[in-house]
C-alpha cells in the first residue's frame, strides 16, 4: 500500500482542516466554526477558532488515552463523536439568538477509512469526499451531503454581495476593485450570519430535512447520516479522501458526484495530489471576484493498493 497526503491552508487565516494517518486509520476533517462577522467577532477557545479546536481535538483523539481500536469504523467514529460532545458541551453555544441556536455549535465534516488485512471500510459525512476505484474499473463516490444546503447559501451570499457592491460602490460585484472586496465581503457576512445560523439549525444532523447533512459535533443524530461502504481489500485499487477545498465549489455545484469522482481520479493519476490541488487553485482564480474567499483550505489522503 502506498500512502500520500497533502495540506494547503490557502488564503484561510485559520487551520481548520484535520488529518489523521495511523497504522489502520486514515482520514480528513473539515472543521466548522460558529458563524462570525465583523459585527459578531469570532470567538476563540485557547486561541483557536471553533473549527480549529474541533480539528485538533479529532486529531489528538487518535493518539490519546481515550482512543482504543473498535470493532469497526462506525463505532470508532461514534467513540470520537461522543468524546467530542463531552468537550464541546452546550455552554459553548453562543446565545446570539434567543433561544440559543445549536446551529452555532462547532464541528467537522469527515471522510475516513479503516484498513485491515482483509477489508477496507469507508465512512463519510458532510462535504468531504471519498473516491474509491475498484480493480474492475468501477468508481464509487460518496455523496456531497451539503450540496443542497450550500447551493442555497451560496445563492444568498452572491445576492447579498451584489446588493452590497451596488450600495457601497454603485458597481456590479465583478467590477469592484480587489482592494475593496474585503469591505464587500465583510458587510455580506454581517447580513448573512442570521440566515446561516437558521439554515444550520434546520439542516445539521437532521435526516428529516431535505437539505440535511452530517456533522461531527457530539450530536448522536450524526450516526443516522453516515455514508458507509465496506470492501474486500483485494477489490480496491485506489482510495482518495478529500476535504471540500480539493474540489472547488463551482465544480461541485455544476457536476454530479460520479463525474466529479472520475475527473478527480484521472487528475490524481496524471499529476498526483499536488497536481490535483494546482487544478483546484486554477479554477478558484478564475472565479475569485464572485467568491467569498480566494483560496479554500484543502487536505487529501491517497491510498494505492
What digits encode the pLDDT tens for the residues 217-245? 999 999 999 999 999 999 999 999 999 99
pLDDT of residue 42: 85
Cell 473498535 belongs to residue? 70
The residues near 116 (Cβ < 8 Å, ≥ 6 apart) are 24, 233
pLDDT of residue 95: 44
Range of lowest pLDDT (140-144, 180-184, 283-287): 283-287
The residues near 254 (Cβ < 8 Å, ≥ 6 apart) are none
Give the whole-number percent of the chain exceeding pLDDT 70: 93
User: What would the pLDDT profile of 237-277 be if each residue is shown by its tens digit?
Assistant: 999 999 999 998 778 777 899 999 999 999 999 999 999 99
Strands across the sheet containing 107-115: 17-21, 25-32, 107-115, 119-125, 227-232
pLDDT of residue 289: 59
Range of lowest pLDDT (50-59, 93-102, 121-130, 136-145): 93-102
pLDDT of residue 287 exceeding 90: no
Mean pLDDT of the chain: 91
User: What would the pLDDT profile of 13-44 be if each residue is shown by its tens digit?
Assistant: 899 999 999 999 999 999 999 888 999 888 88
C-alpha cell at 9: 491552508
pLDDT of residue 9 exceeding 60: yes
pTM of the predicted model over 0.85: yes
pLDDT of residue 216 exceeding 60: yes
pLDDT of residue 88: 76
Q: What is the mean pLDDT of the segment spanning 71-78?
A: 94
Distance CA 86, CA 40 (A): 26
pLDDT of residue 157 exceeding 60: yes
Cell 443542497 belongs to residue? 148
Please determine, looking at this structure, whether the domain spanning 2-304 carries the CATH number 1.25.40.10: no
Please answer whether residues 188 and 161 qualify as being in contact, where contact means their C-beta atoms are separated by less than 8 angstroms. yes
Q: What is the mean pLDDT of the segment spanning 67-72?
A: 82
Closest CA to 30 of 64, 2, 59: 59
pLDDT of residue 290: 55
Distance CA 61, CA 65 (A): 8
Q: What is the mean pLDDT of the segment spanning 186-201?
A: 95
C-alpha cell at 229: 461502504
Cis amide leading into 99 (omega within 30): yes
Distance CA 217, CA 109 (A): 9
Amino acid at each position: 500500500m502506498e500512502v500520500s497526503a497533502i495540506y494547503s491552508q490557502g488564503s484561510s487565516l485559520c487551520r481548520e482542516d484535520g488529518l489523521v494517518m495511523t497504522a489502520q486509520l486514515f482520514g480528513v476533517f473539515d472543521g466548522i466554526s460558529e458563524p462570525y462577522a465583523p459585527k459578531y467577532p469570532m470567538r476563540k477557545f485557547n486561541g483557536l477558532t471553533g473549527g480549529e479546536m474541533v480539528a485538533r481535538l479529532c486529531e489528538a483523539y487518535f493518539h490519546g488515552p481515550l482512543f482504543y481500536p473498535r470493532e469497526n469504523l462506525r463505532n470508532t467514529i461514534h467513540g470520537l463523536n461522543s468524546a467530542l460532545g463531552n468537550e464541546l458541551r452546550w455552554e459553548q453555544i453562543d446565545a446570539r439568538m434567543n433561544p440559543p441556536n445549536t446551529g452555532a455549535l462547532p464541528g467537522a465534516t469527515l471522510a475516513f477509512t479503516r484498513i485491515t488485512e482483509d477489508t477496507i471500510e469507508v465512512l463519510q459525512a458532510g462535504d468531504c469526499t471519498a473516491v474509491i476505484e475498484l480493480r474492475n474499473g468501477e468508481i464509487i463516490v460518496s455523496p456531497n451531503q451539503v450540496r443542497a444546503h450550500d447551493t442555497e447559501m451560496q445563492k444568498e451570499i452572491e445576492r447579498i454581495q451584489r446588493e452590497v457592491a451596488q450600495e457601497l460602490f454603485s458597481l456590479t460585484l465583478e467590477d469592484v476593485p480587489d482592494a475593496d472586496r474585503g469591505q464587500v465581503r465583510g458587510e455580506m457576512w454581517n447580513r448573512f450570519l442570521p440566515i446561516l445560523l437558521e439554515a444550520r439549525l434546520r439542516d445539521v444532523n437532521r435526516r428529516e430535512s431535505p437539505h440535511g447533512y452530517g456533522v461531527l459535533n457530539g450530536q448522536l443524530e450524526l450516526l443516522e447520516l453516515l455514508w458507509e461502504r465496506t470492501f474486500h481489500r483485494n477489490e480496491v485499487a485506489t482510495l482518495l479522501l478529500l476535504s471540500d477545498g480539493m474540489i472547488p465549489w463551482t465544480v461541485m455545484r455544476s457536476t454530479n458526484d460520479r463525474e466529479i469522482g472520475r475527473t478527480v481520479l484521472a487528475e490524481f493519476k496524471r499529476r498526483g495530489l499536488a497536481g490535483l490541488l494546482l487544478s483546484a487553485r486554477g479554477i478558484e482564480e478564475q472565479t475569485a471576484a464572485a467568491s467569498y474567499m480566494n483560496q479554500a483550505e484543502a487536505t487529501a489522503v491517497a491510498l494505492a493498493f
